[in-house]
Amino acid sequence: MQIPIRFPNNGQVPNESSSSLTPLPPQLATLGTGEVVLIEMQGSLEVEGDKSNGFIGVLNVDDDKTTMRIGHHLLEGKIASLAKPIAVLRKTETKASNPAAHEAGLDVPVSEPSFDIVSIAKRKIVFSKRPVPIVRYVDLGSSRSKGR
């Protein structure tokens, strides 16, 4: 078996069809070539119920500080360079009939997997610490001034 790996949109201008991606926000666009952002986190993201179209949290990327707020948790992280760049591959399947099977009269459509290199990430956003609970979301400075 041979599974091809393609590099479809290297330096190409993406066409604006409905399934193509909108441009990345500018502060994320510098993380690598291509369209993908890699975010590394400890543990995993536990979600209850239906995830579709669900809101996860707010990511704030700045030069000096990167934070992610998920519910009542705040993650602090940074943009780090990857020691070795990571190729992000996406599996695509094209329906094709197996020529050998076709000759034998067995026209079984087989899906032929292939991979697209969607991005070569050279940097990642890494949240290496445990999340800090946010006790009160209201800005401390303003709440203090209100109390006086």
Q: Is 142 in the site for other proteins (CB under 8 A)?
A: no
Q: Is 16 in the site for other proteins (CB under 8 A)?
A: yes
Q: Is 21 in the site for other proteins (CB under 8 A)?
A: yes
Q: Select the residue interacting with other proteins from 13, 17, 136, 142 (CB under 8 A).
A: 17
Rg (CA), the chain: 22
Q: Which two tokens stand for residue 140?
A: 């401390």
Q: Is 64 in the site for other proteins (CB under 8 A)?
A: no
- Among the residue ranges 27-35, 71-79, 129-137, 138-146, the one whose residues contact other proteins (CB under 8 A): 27-35
Q: Is 103 in the site for other proteins (CB under 8 A)?
A: yes
Side-chain-side CA neighbours of residue 2 (13 Å): 3
Judged by DSSP in three states, 13 sits in coil
The Cα–Cα gap between 68 and 78 comes to 10
Q: Select the residue interacting with other proteins from 37, 75, 77, 131 (CB under 8 A).
A: 37
Q: Is 28 in the site for other proteins (CB under 8 A)?
A: yes
Q: Select the residue interacting with other proteins from 76, 78, 79, 86 (CB under 8 A).
A: 86
Q: Is the CB of 40 or the CB of 132 nearer to other proteins? A: 40
DSSP state of 17: -
* Residue pair 34/118 in contact by the 8 Å Cβ criterion: yes
The Cα–Cα gap between 88 and 50 comes to 26
* Residue pair 129/75 in contact by the 8 Å Cβ criterion: yes
User: Which residue ranges make up the site for other proteins (CB under 8 A)?
Assistant: 1-12, 16-25, 27-28, 35-45, 47, 50-62, 68, 84-91, 98, 100-101, 103-104, 106, 115, 117-118, 120, 124
